[in-house]
Amino acid sequence: MRRLPAYLGLGIVLSTLAVAYARTLAPGLTWANSGGDGGDLITAAATLGVAHPTGYPTYLLLAHLFQYVPIGDLAFRTNLLSAAAALLAAACVYGIVQELDGSQTWRSSVAAAIAALGLGLAPVFWSQAIIAEVYSLNACFVALILRFILRSMRSAGAARAWPDRFAALVVGVALGNHVTAALPALVWLTIATRSTAPGDRRHMTVRRLTWLCLGLLVYLYLPLRAAAHPPVNWGDAHDWSGFWWEISGQPYRGLAFGLPPAFLSGRVEAWAALLAGQFGWLGLGLGFFGLLYGGGAARWFRWLSAALAAAYSLFAVTYNTADSFAYLIPAYLIFTIWIGLGVTIILESLERWRPYAAPGAAVVLFILTLAAAPAAAHQVDASQDRRATKYASSVLTSAPRQAIVVTTSDLDSFPLWYYHYALGQRPDLVVIIDPMLDFSWYRENLRFVYPALRIPESTGTSWVDAIVSANRTHGPLCRTNVKVQPYLSCESVMDPLDWTDPKAW
């Protein structure tokens, strides 16, 4: 009975967020909310391929499991993974706030519910919870690791063996989803529980490292699947050079901390505006109030989480892409924990001052948290976005038989991958991404995917021209453009050839 308010509050949070996500979830493949990579991730999961660096093996395996859910198409089922991960992340925030308070009263349940709803309904977090992307799952893992950190800090002695092993395994698997989970993972790995003897501390560290490495074995998925040459096979990670190219994110290394100094002030302003846009001025006040004046038992956790939030913010601000705001999600997650602490302090103070004022304040805060939901829903709603589907359907319908379709960017490439490779539509076509032809591993994989396609070993001109020249008598050349309609323009139609037939030559 003492836990009844906690269970009731968690039930309200999860049911509210589930309804919000169900009403705004993308119905399939989408370009909404900077979701252009969704086609790559969904197709890689469906074909058990290798997605763009860093490979995301944990995400791909979980997405593949979700694709067996008998609802909607493959893209919709993969979107469900993001929604489920977002719900679990909110549940973890709820549990962290409750544990930081420790009173198991109605006040702690209300504070935890407001914190969890604040995260789940924050526009940036919500936007990633309803599309196929890795950020919602990353937030879930970060929240879990934060709870592991809190448990370690509050433990009176050495952590119990099997829960600690399980936590280490989860941390390793988390690193298989997104490398930024390494920030809280490093903190959890090195933190020493209170009153732990030096010998026990060494034993605990070795145990954690061992089980963390077992979790990291999820990365074996990449070379094992790359060796099978699936249609989506970034880096061809079957050997060490390709594997390192993939997991180290080599194509994107220059983007990390690569923002030109001239743009830094604008990014900082955007960071501040985004933070205010997630939680409003009341939320900002509650969050910073909770950070500064949270309960004494939460002191070290508060400032440790502040350091993590600052690190995530620095990485997001200096990452040189337009959609780097998604890297702020763990920082927002931490901020909602502070909001929960701030609400706890206010409700406790009101109850001491005027016992009947606290419930009224709780109701007001809860209503204000929900009041921001309609505006956020309008901002992130992906339920009506069918641009990617219309584009891919138009291209595949209008493409001549046995055509070579050349694309130039993520937006015009990944939707075609989804329909061509994952759904098996128009197997007579060849889909080639022009910029990726500069990579030898991509050309080699094309030879496996399209056995009848002639690809020169070298070229003195552009690779597309060289391929067209080598296959001149066997099919039309078509190019896509997502900015104009019709999306596809083709050159002269020649005698067709079945590209998938290895005996065609």
Domain-by-domain residue ranges, the chain?
4-251+260-380, 387-490
Token pair, residue 392, equals 């891919």
Residue 85 near residue 140, CB atoms below 8 Å? yes
* Radius of gyration over every alpha carbon of the chain, rounded to an integer in angstroms: 25
User: Given a cut of 50, is residue 504 above it in pLDDT?
Assistant: no
- Report the Cα 378 to chain-centroid distance in Å: 21
pLDDT band of residue 281 (cuts 50, 70, 90) is very high
Burial of 73 per CB tally in 10 Å (0-12, 13-18, 19+): middle
pTM of the full structure: 0.93
pLDDT value at 493 more than 50: no
The pLDDT value recorded for residue 198 is: 63
Q: Are 184 and 308 in contact (CB under 8 A)?
A: yes
Phi, psi (degrees; rounded to nearest 5) at 151: -60, -40
Residues 251-280 have a mean pLDDT of 93
d(CA 43, CA 61): 12
* Per-residue pLDDT tens digits for 10-57: 999 999 999 999 999 999 999 999 999 999 999 999 999 999 999 999
Distance CA 182, CA 191 (A): 14
| Vertex 479: Cα angle to 74 and 437 (nearest 5) | 80
**Residue range 50-85, pLDDT digits in tens:** 999 999 999 999 999 999 999 999 999 999 999 999
The closest of 423, 467, 462 to 446, measured between CA atoms, is 467
Alpha helices in 123-239 (DSSP H): 123-129, 135-154, 161-175, 182-190, 198-216, 221-226
Q: Which of 185-194, 238-247, 383-392 has the lowest mean pLDDT?
A: 185-194
pLDDT at 196: 59
Query: What H or E segment, with its residue span, contains residue 404?
Result: strand 404-407
pLDDT at 297: 64
